């Protein structure tokens, strides 16, 4: 087990810059998820940690040792690829034992180690099969087994669940999490699914266009997103964003509705702001701001209502059952303590 | 959009089945009909010449005389003919050595071309040149290269570099001639092997190499445990073809040495032609040609069964 330090890392492919000055610091035994939209450089960063991609600038260290020039096999890491990269001409056993075989381990050690991993993952019955005789979920498990057998300092996962169907994905998500609880190995996990990130991570790295937008615990990102990108990316359904100005101690949209401001902190507030409120932080309140109902979507546990406030469409998620119909007026009230304000110019959070 | 007056539903018209339609719906008939052209072509253009060749091998036909059935007489006579056994030896030797060299060099070339090197596509195109020029043309080129007096290689060694005093003997004595022919055959055969193996190499996903790299494999181990098993199936097919082409080679040898000096470089194919056409002994020539069949069948079966069958490629479950 080891720490992973990514310090000021940049990456160029030819003349295109893919990573810009990335800092991530991962503690021993932590489960860190890299999340972000497609093409933001998550895989690239992971492959740089693995040593499959060279480092243009900055340093990466594993367990306190700078590994910029250390070849992949000497970094003591194991990686699970998106397409699993199982050796098609080897049985499950041989796939999992391959690293031991290369290290000239005796047969008995190979059997012990593979047996241990197979037991953790429930692969015992499949050891003599070839990868093409396995289902997607089983292949995924073999790929993890191959990583476990290595007994690495760090596990790297690149979107390991993206080839699985929704149900299996939820199941494997829990299995990977449980595996981490059991082995307590430092893990870096790439995904573009923010639910996966929220549910699995100790810490999340939100990336966009090669930049780390925010690095923190899942609930910190949810409660205090640093900027508009993180605010919009974390949380489902996504946060409502209203544009307007701060006037007379309230937030006013162009159509004149006045929204309550969060308690004032020490910082200066610019006049032009973006007012962010999560759908689940809106309440029904007879004295609230009058909005027009567009669509009502009851899910049973809650009711999601698409609302219109002036020109802006927004979403409310209410615990109550809402019997309003299209065109009805629905007064809603945000919880001022849970409102986020962002500078309209810079997109940054205005600290409250 | 349905118009008000239109019928509610369109019902497909029921057509009467004629006997012809019935016949064509009947699977066995359809199979026979569909196979007939292919089978016919095979019979006329492949089986007939082959059958005729085999038949001739059991007759004493000569050019201009149809001959009579003599049973195994031709073969018995060949069994005591040292020139025939010389040709058998050289055919096997030529095929064996040339195949090994072609595959060693072809694989090496394919591995090189599979890397990122400058002018890759240009080099790939160049590689194909020996394969696309007509064999006779390259044979004539080699004939000239191996010429006792005007050989370019001799010229370079003797007159340019001054490393030798005499011209090199390429085709004047038995062993140099044999090696010279093998060199020509290897030169001609490498592109086919290299390009086919390159195609095989390119089907190997890069992530396998990356996974192996993380598993601690050195580049030799990646070659040994990933590349070799993964290209084995295509290697087997390419090798089968290569062995057949080499064993039945005719043009190169006939154009460069005509089987000489003193019959030392006769392949079975050139010997069969020599005996059958210029010498007119059709039956004997055919018998020599027929004697190639067991070798070819054996070579094909060997490379097919020893190399091609791989369990991991087949989908069936094995438990
Ligand atoms: N070998 C390469 N050469 C040039 N550009 C590359 C190369 N590999 C990746 N890129 C570029 O780098 C950027 C980041 O790629 P990366 O694969 O890291 O994205 P990602 O965040 O993993 O996306 P996804 O979620 O789709 O997997 C992309 O814009 C991509 O086009
Ligand atoms: Mg990716």
Tokens 């025939």: give the residue.
B84
Terminal-residue alpha carbon distance, chain B:
57
Nearest CA to ligand 1 atom 24: A38
A33 strand-pairing partners = A189, A204
pTM value is 0.79
Q: Which residues line ligand 1 (CB under 6 A)?
A: A 13, 18, 36, 38-44, 192
Mean per-residue pLDDT, A197-202:
92
The pLDDT tens digits for A99-153 are: 999 989 899 999 999 998 888 888 888 899 999 888 888 898 899 899 989 889 9
**Alpha carbons A274 and A277: distance in angstroms, whole number:** 10
Percent of chain A with pLDDT over 90: 52
Query: Residue A261 class from Cβ within 10 Å (0-12 exposed, 13-18 middle, 19+ buried)?
Result: middle
Q: Residues 6 or more apart from B152 whose CB is under 8 A from it?
A: B144, B145
Domains and CATH numbers, chain B: 81-313 (1.10.3720.10)
Output b/e per residue, A151-163; b: 16+ Cβ within 10 A: ebbbbbbbbbbee
Tell me what pLDDT residue A52 has: 92
Is 50 exceeded by the pLDDT of residue A334? yes
Residue contact B217–A102, C-beta within 8 A:
yes
Tell me what pLDDT residue A265 has: 62
Which chain B residue is nearest to residue A89, measuring alpha carbons?
B312
Q: Any chain A CB within 8 A of the CB of B315? A: yes
DSSP letter string, B155-217: HIIIIIS---SS---SSSSHHHHHHHHHHHHHHHHHHHHHHHHHHHHHTS-HHHHHHHHHTT-
Output b/e per residue, A337-351; b: 16+ Cβ within 10 A: eebbbbbbeeeebbe
Q: Residues 6 or more apart from B286 whose CB is under 8 A from it?
A: B53, B54, B56, B57, B61, B74, B272, B276
Alpha helices (runs of H) in chain B, residue ranges in sequence order: 19-25, 27-42, 48-57, 73-79, 82-114, 120-127, 129-132, 135-145, 152-155, 174-202, 206-214, 219-222, 228-247, 251-256, 268-276, 282-290, 292-303
pLDDT 10s digit of each residue in chain B, 319 long? 445 555 567 777 777 778 888 888 888 888 888 888 888 888 888 888 888 888 888 888 888 787 788 878 888 888 888 888 989 999 999 999 999 999 999 999 898 888 877 887 888 888 888 888 887 888 888 888 888 777 888 888 887 787 877 777 777 788 888 898 899 899 888 988 998 999 899 989 999 999 999 998 998 999 999 999 888 888 888 888 888 889 888 888 888 888 778 888 888 889 889 888 888 888 888 888 888 888 888 888 877 777 656 666 654 444 3
CA A136, A140, A143, A145 torsion-angle sign: negative
The pLDDT tens digits for A23-44 are: 999 999 999 999 999 999 999 9
What is the side-by-side strand order in the sheet with A303-309?
A312-318, A303-309, A282-298, A329-334
Q: Are A19 and A54 in contact (CB under 8 A)?
A: no
Of B214, B217, B312, the CB nearest to A88: B312
**Alpha carbons A76 and A62: distance in angstroms, whole number:** 9
**Alpha carbons B55 and B9: distance in angstroms, whole number:** 69
Tell me what pLDDT residue B1 has: 47
Read off the tokens for B250.
């005719």
**Coil, strand or helix at A155:** strand
Angle, in degrees to the nearest 10, between helices A136-150 and A166-183: 20
Tell me what pLDDT residue B318 has: 40
Tell me what pLDDT residue B309 has: 61
DSSP-derived secondary structure letter, B62: B
- Could you list the beta-strand ranges (E) of A168-210: 186-191, 203-208
Tell me what pLDDT residue A16 has: 92
Helix (H) or strand (E) holding A230: helix A228-233
- Residues having C-beta closer than 5 Å to ion ligand 2: A 43
Helix (H) or strand (E) holding A283: strand A282-298
Tell me what pLDDT residue A191 has: 92
Which chain B residue is nearest to residue A99, measuring alpha carbons?
B215
Higher pLDDT, A218 or A321: A218
Q: Residues 6 or more apart from A106 whose CB is under 8 A from it?
A: none
B90 strand-pairing partners = none
Query: In Å, how far is A279's CA from the nearest CA of chain B?
Result: 42
Ligand number nearest to the C-alpha of A34:
1
Tell me what pLDDT residue B56 has: 87
**Of B206, B207, B213, B214, which to mutate for an interface test with A (greatest number of A Cβ within 10 Å)?**
B214
Tell me what pLDDT residue B160 has: 79
Among A269, A273, A278, A234, residue whose Cα is nearest residue A351: A269
CA A201, A203, A208, A210 torsion-angle sign: negative
């Amino acid at each position: 087990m080891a720490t992973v330090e990514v310090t000021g890392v940049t990456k160029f492919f030819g003349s295109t810059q893919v990573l810009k000055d990335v800092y991530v610091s991962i503690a021993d035994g932590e489960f860190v998820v890299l999340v972000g939209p497609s093409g933001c450089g998550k895989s690239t960063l992971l492959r740089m940690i693995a040593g499959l991609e060279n480092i243009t600038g900055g340093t990466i260290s594993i367990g306190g040792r700078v590994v910029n020039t250390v070849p992949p096999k000497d970094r003591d890491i194991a990686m699970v690829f998106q397409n699993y990269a199982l050796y098609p001409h080897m049985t499950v056993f041989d796939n999992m034992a391959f690293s031991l075989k290369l290290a000239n381990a005796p047969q008995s050690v190979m059997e012990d180690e593979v047996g241990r991993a197979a037991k953790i993952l429930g692969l015992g019955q499949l050891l003599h099969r070839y990868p093409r005789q396995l289902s997607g979920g089983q292949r995924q498990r073999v790929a993890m087994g191959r990583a476990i057998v290595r007994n690495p300092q760090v596990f790297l996962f690149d979107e390991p669940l993206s080839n699985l169907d929704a149900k299996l994905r939820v199941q494997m998500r829990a299995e990977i999490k449980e595996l981490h609880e059991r082995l307590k190995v430092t893990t870096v996990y790439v995904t573009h699914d923010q639910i996966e990130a929220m549910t699995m991570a100790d810490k999340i790295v939100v990336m966009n266009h090669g930049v780390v937008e925010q690095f923190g615990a899942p609930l910190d990102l949810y409660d205090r997103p640093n900027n508009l990108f993180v605010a919009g990316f974390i949380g489902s359904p996504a946060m409502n964003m209203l544009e307007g100005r701060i006037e007379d101690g309230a937030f006013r949209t162009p159509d004149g509705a006045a929204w309550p401001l969060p308690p004032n902190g020490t910082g200066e507030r610019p006049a032009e702001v973006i007012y962010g409120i999560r759908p689940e932080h809106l309440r029904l309140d007879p004295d609230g701001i009058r909005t027009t109902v567009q669509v009502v979507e009851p899910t049973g546990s809650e009711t999601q209502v698409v609302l219109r406030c002036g020109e802006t469409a927004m979403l409310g998620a209410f615990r109550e059952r809402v019997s309003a119909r299209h065109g009805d007026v629905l007064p809603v009230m945000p919880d001022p303590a849970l409102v986020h304000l962002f500078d309209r110019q810079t997109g940054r959070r205005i600290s409250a | 959009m349905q118009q008000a007056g239109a019928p509610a539903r369109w019902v497909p018209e029921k057509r009467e089945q004629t006997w012809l339609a019935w016949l064509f719906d009947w699977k066995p008939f359809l199979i026979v009909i569909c196979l007939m052209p292919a089978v016919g072509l095979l019979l006329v253009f492949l089986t007939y010449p082959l059958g005729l060749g085999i038949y001739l091998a059991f007759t004493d036909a000569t050019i201009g005389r149809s001959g009579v059935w003599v049973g195994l007489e031709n073969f018995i006579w060949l069994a005591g003919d040292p020139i025939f056994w010389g040709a058998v030896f050289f055919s096997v030797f030529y095929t064996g050595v040339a195949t090994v060299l072609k595959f060693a060099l072809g694989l090496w070339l394919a591995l090189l071309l599979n890397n990122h090197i400058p002018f890759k596509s240009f080099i790939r195109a160049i590689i194909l040149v020996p394969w696309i020029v007509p064999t006779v043309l390259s044979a004539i080129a080699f004939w000239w290269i191996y010429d006792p007096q005007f050989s370019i290689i001799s010229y370079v060694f003797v007159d340019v570099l001054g490393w030798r005093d005499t011209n090199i003997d390429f085709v004047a004595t038995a062993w140099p001639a044999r090696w010279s022919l093998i060199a020509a055959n290897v030169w001609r055969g490498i592109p086919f092997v290299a390009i086919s193996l390159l195609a095989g190499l390119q089907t190997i996903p890069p992530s396998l190499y990356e996974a192996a790299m993380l598993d601690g494999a050195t580049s030799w181990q990646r070659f040994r445990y990933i590349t070799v098993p993964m290209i084995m199936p295509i290697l087997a097919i390419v090798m089968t073809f290569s062995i057949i082409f080499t064993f039945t080679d005719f043009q190169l040898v006939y154009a460069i040495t005509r089987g000489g000096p003193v019959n030392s470089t006769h392949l079975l194919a050139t010997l069969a032609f020599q005996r059958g056409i210029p010498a007119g002994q059709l039956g004997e020539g055919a018998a020599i040609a027929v004697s190639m069949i067991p070798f070819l069948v054996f070579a094909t079966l060997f490379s097919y069964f020893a190399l091609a069958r791989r369990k991991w490629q087949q989908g069936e479950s094995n438990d």
